[in-house]
Amino acid sequence: MTVSTPKGFKKVLKTLDMTLFTVCAIIVIDTPGIATPVLIGEIMLWWTKR
C-alpha cells in the first residue's frame, strides 16, 4: 500500500529501507576516520623508500 502526498508523489521507502540507508550512511561516515591513519602511514613509508 502506498500513500500519496499532496503533490502527487508516492511514498515508496519503507521502514526497512530507511533503516538500511541509515546504517550505510553511518558506515560511510565512520570509514575515513578509520582509514586515514593507515593511509598516512602508507604515504610516509612510500615517501621514505624513494
pLDDT per position as a tens digit, 7-37: 777 888 899 999 999 999 988 887 777 777 7
Average pLDDT over residues 35-42: 77
H-state helical runs in 1-50: 15-49
Residue 4 scores a pLDDT above 60: no
What integer pLDDT is reported at residue 23 of this predicted model? 94
| Domain positions in the chain | 13-50
> Which residue bears the cell 593511509?
39
Nearest to 13 by CA among 21, 24, 23, 25: 21
> Which residue bears the cell 593507515?
38
Q: Is the pTM of this model over 0.75?
A: no
